[in-house]
Amino acid sequence: SQAPTKHTLIKLVGMTSLYLAAKLHSARKISVQCMSSLSHGYFREDQILKMEICIIKTLRWRLNPPTSFIYLTVISPLIDDFSEKDHAFTSNAVELSRYLAELSVCDDFFMYKKPSSIACAAILVALDILAIPRKCFLEHGLEHSPDATEVCIQRLHQVYSLASPQIDEEVGATEREGSSPTTVI
């Protein structure tokens, strides 16, 4: 058999990456036989399995790293401790924290920051925006890296201030027109 061409290799990497993504994130598992069939016989099962091992080794098994959203899911029950009486506040704080974490994905500044620092910063910025003292959160001792978290806090404040006017403008237009927003930031 001849060596695969560059385009064939790219297709194999793509097909195998799809297979890996389905294995990791799909509720419905796809077999390697199914992937071979999806390629219309272009790739054999053994080729897909060998490429899977190659990709896994190249990534040094770092296929599913923790994200700031995972940290928020773990930490957000602590927000319930802030205000057991006011469920609306808890909900607002959690949602705003998630929104801030989503904003961080749009800024390459956060690319090499620890997801845990981004999550802590998102919660602390949400508390700032909602005018809730940070001590409520800091009492739990979760701010493990204050300097890294503080840098993320400053940047999230900047990113939020840039995004806020656009959100307010869209919400105002939506209320005047009586329709749903057309974009999500």
Rounded to two decimals, the pTM is 0.59
Consecutive 10-residue averages of pLDDT for the chain (185 residues): 76 92 83 90 92 91 83 79 61 90 94 92 90 68 74 95 69 48 46
Dig out the tokens for 128 from the structure.
């700032």
- C-alpha pair distances (Å), 7 with each of 4, 33, 60: 8, 22, 25
| pLDDT at residue 109, rounded to an integer | 95
